[in-house]
A and B are shown apart, each in its own frame.
Chain A
Amino acid sequence: MRPLIDVWRSASSRLILIYGALFAIWCVILLGVVQWEASRYLVGVIDQMLLQRIHYLEVSDPRRLQGTVEAASVIDPKGIMWVGLFDADGKPVAGNITRLPDELVQDGVVYPLKASLADPDANRPARARGVTVHLANGQRLVVAKESNTIDGVGTIIKRGLLWGLSLTLLPGLLGGILIARGPARRIREIQDATAPIREGDLTRRLPVSRRGDELDLLAGIVNTMLGEIERLLGEVKGVCDNIAHDLRTPLTRLRTRLYRTQQQIGQRPEAALLDACVDDIDTVLTRFRALMRVSELEDRQRSACFADIDLAQVIRDVYEFYVPLAEDRGQRFELTVGELPALRGDPQLLFEALANLVGNAIKFTPNGGAVRLTAGVDVEGNARIDIVDSGPGIPTDEREAVVRRFYRGDNTRAQPGSGLGLSIVNAIVKLHGYSLEIGGDAHGAQFSVICNPKAA
C-alpha cells in the first residue's frame, strides 16, 4: 500500500501557507503604519484648528467674548467645535461645554480628553482634544473638538485591511492548493511507477512529461540511475553466465577424459580416485547448469509456452515422483488436493518449481519426519499450494535471502546442493505472475505458491 500524499502536507502547500502568513503580517504592519501616520496627521490638523480658534477668541474683545462664545456654540449645533467660557471657580459662563475638563493642565497645549464634552454622563465613548487659556480677567476659555473622526479613519483603514487580506489571501490559498495538487498527482504517478522497480523490475522507468520542469528533471536523473544500475547488474549477471557457459566445455572434456581413463584402468585402486574426480566435476557442471537455468528463466518472456493446465495433475505427478524418496527416508508424505481454479501456465516449469520445493522439503526433513503437499483455493480465488515440512525451518531474517542465487542458510550448509533451487523456483513463479511465500517456524518450513488465475 503506497503512503498517500496529503495535499496539506505537500511542499508547495506548505510554501503557500508560509507565504500567505508572511503576506498577512506584512499587510497588518503596512496598514498599521498607514493608520498611525494618518491619525498623527489628523491630530496635527485638529490641534492646529484648536490653537487657531482659541487664539482668535483670546485676542477678541474681552467684553464681547461671552457673546461670541454663545454665538459660536449656536452656529455649531452638531458639536464639531466645542467652546466654553468658565469663571475663576470653573463654573460655566457661556458655550456648550458644561464642565471644565480636568485634563487641561497647561495653557495653550492641546490635550486628549476622555469624557464626552456635551454630556458627562453619556455612555457613548467619546474622545476629544481640547485646549484652554486663562484670560486676563481670571476666566478660562476652552476649545475642544471630538476626535472620533480619527477613529473613523482608523476603522476605514482596518476594514480596508480586512477586505484586502481576504480578497487576496483566500483566492491565493485556494489557487495554491489547486497548484499543489498538480505536483501531488504526478508524485503519485511516480510512486505507482516505482512499485514494480522496488520489487526488482529494473526495466521499468519513471514517467517524464513534456513540460521539462523540476519533477521531470528529477525523474530523468532517477531514470538515468536506474538505467546504469540495470546495465551494471546485467554485466555482473553476464559475467557469471559467461563464466558458467565458457567453463562448461573444458569441464565436460575433462570429465570425458577422466571417465575414459577410469573405464580403462578398471578395478585398480586408483579408479576410486577418478570416481571422486568425476563426481566433483559433475557437481560443478550441475551447479553451472542450474545457474544458467536461473538466468534463462529470468530472461524468458512470459507465456512463451503457456497453455491451460491441470494443476492438480501436475501436483499429483510431483507427489508420485517423490513418494519413493520420502518412503526411503521413513518420512510421512501426505498429499491433499482440493478443487482448483482453471489456470494458464507451463506445466513443465511448474513441475520443476514444485519438484524443487518438495525435493527441498524432503532433503531438509530428518528421517522419520513429515512432509505435507496441499493444494486448494484461498479466499481470493487463487490456487494455493503449500509444502510444509518438519525440518529445522527457515529463520525469519533469512526468508528473503533464500531465493537469492547461491544463498545457503546456516541450518542447511551441511546439506548437499547448489543454493540455486529456490532461485529457480522464484524465477518460475515470477514468470507466471504467481507469488511465493515462505513461512513456518522452528519446527518446519512452509513454502506456498499462490497462483492467481488472472496473472498468467
Chain B
Amino acid sequence: MARVLVIEDDEVTAREIVTELASHGMTADWVADGREGLTRALNDGYDIITLDRLLPGMDGIDIVAALRERHIDTPVLMISALSDVDDRVRGLRAGGDDYLTKPFAPDEMAARAEVLLRRRQPNVESNRLRVGELELDLVRHVANRNGQPLTLLPTEFRLLEFLMRNAGQVLTRTMIFEQVWGFHFDPGTNVIDVHIGRLRRKIDGPGQSPLIRTVRGSGYLLAPAD
C-alpha cells in the first residue's frame, strides 16, 4: 500500500486530502509544520509527498529544494493557494513534480497523486507500453492494437502514451492538457474532448470493445476491456 506524507498547515484541507487518498487505497500521514515535514520526508521513505506552498517554519519551495539537494527523489505534488504561473514555474523548478492550485477537486488531487506514483513504478519495459490489446513502441513510434497497426499523428501518439502510462487511472481534461501539451491554462472549449474522440475512433475499430472511457464530471480513463 502506497504511503503518502501530507505536509499541510490548514487542518480542513489536510483532512480532505487524507480522506481522499485513503479512499484511493493510500495511507496518508499528516504533518502541519514545515521543518517536521522535511525531517519525516528525509527519513521515513514515503512513496509520495503532497506539499503546501506556504507553511509555518519553512517554505514549501525550500522543502522540495532541500529534498532534491539530498537526492531524495520522492515525487512531490505541490498544492498551493498561489495560482500565479510564476509560482507554478518556481515550484516545478525547485523540484516539484506537479502543481495543483487551491481550491482543488479532491478526486483530481488523488488522480494527480496516482499519476505521480505510477511514474515511479514503471509497469512496462522501458521502450514498450502494453495495455490489453494495445501496444505502443516508444522507440519506433508505432502503435498497434491486436497486431493491427494504428496510424497516429504525433499529438495522438503522445496522448495515447499518456493514457497508457496511466491506464486504469481517471485523468481530468486539465491533467491531459498539462501533461500532453504542456500548457497550464483553461483551453475553454471542448478541444480536449475532440482530441480524445479522434484518438478513440482510431484505436477502437468497429466491433472492438472501447478502451477509452468517459468518466462523467471527471475526465477519461483508458483501461483494458473486461
Contacts and interface: CB of A to CB of B under 8 A. Distances in A.
Interface of A: 248-249, 251-253, 255-256, 259, 262, 275, 278-279, 282, 286, 289-290, 292-293, 296, 300, 304-305, 317, 320-322, 324-325, 328, 348-349, 351-352, 355-356, 359, 362-363, 417-418, 421
B217 A253 contact: no
Contacts of B140: none
A350 B113 CA distance: 30
B108 to A, nearest CB: 10
Nearest to B84: A296
Contact of A359 (B84, B183, B189, B198): B189
A249 B194 contact: no
Contact of B216 (A275, A293, A321): A275
A249 B103 contact: yes
B102 interface: yes
A51 to B, nearest CB: 109
Contacts of A325: 189-191, 194
A348 B107 contact: no
A262 B217 contact: yes
B186 A259 contact: no
Given A262-B216, A304-B86, A255 B105 contact: yes
A275 B185 CA distance: 24
B207 interface: no
B184 A322 contact: no
B189 A248 contact: no
A296 B84 CA distance: 7
Main secondary structure of the interface of A (DSSP, over half): helix
Nearest to A359: B189
A362 B189 contact: yes
B122 interface: no
A191 to B, nearest CB: 36
A356 B191 CA distance: 11
Given A251-B103, A296-B83, A320-B155, 10 more contacts: A262-B217, A275-B216, A290-B186, A296-B85, A304-B86, A305-B89, A324-B197, A349-B85, A359-B189, A421-B188
A251 B104 CA distance: 10
B183 A324 contact: no
B191 A321 contact: yes
Contacts of B190: 325
17 contacts: A249-B103, A251-B103, A256-B105, A259-B107, A262-B216, A278-B217, A279-B217, A286-B188, A289-B186, A292-B83, A293-B185, A293-B186, A321-B181, A324-B198, A328-B194, A328-B197, A421-B188
A322 B181 CA distance: 12
Contacts of B85: 296, 305, 348-349
A252 B188 contact: no
B102 A249 contact: yes
B106 interface: yes
Nearest to A275: B216
Contacts, number: 78
Which 7 residue pairs spanning A and B have beta carbons closest together? A252-B103, A249-B103, A278-B217, A324-B194, A352-B185, A325-B194, A359-B189
Contacts of A349: 85
Contact of A417 (B102, B185, B188, B194): B188
Contacts of A418: 188
Contacts of A363: 189
Interface of B: 83-86, 89, 102-107, 155, 181, 183-191, 194-195, 197-198, 216-218
A431 B197 CA distance: 35
A253 B194 CA distance: 29
A429 to B, nearest CB: 15
Contacts of A278: 217
Nearest to B181: A321
A234 B188 CA distance: 27
Given A249-B102, A305-B89, A352-B183, A324 B189 contact: no
Contacts of A289: 186
Contacts of B83: 292, 296
A123 to B, nearest CB: 100
Nearest to A263: B217
Contacts of B188: 286, 356, 359, 417-418, 421
Contacts of B217: 259, 262, 275, 278-279, 282
A356 to B, nearest CB: 7
A260 to B, nearest CB: 9
A351 B86 contact: no
Contacts of A286: 186, 188
A251 B105 CA distance: 10
B58 to A, nearest CB: 24
B216 A252 contact: no
A253 B102 CA distance: 11
Contacts of B186: 286, 289-290, 293
B191 A322 contact: yes
Contact of B183 (A256, A328, A351): A351
Contacts of B195: 324
Contacts of B104: 252
Contacts of B107: 256, 259
A383 B194 CA distance: 30
A249 B107 CA distance: 15
Contacts of A259: 105, 107, 217-218
Nearest to B88: A348
A252 B102 CA distance: 9
Contacts of A253: 103
B105 to A, nearest CB: 6
B43 to A, nearest CB: 33
A85 B215 CA distance: 142
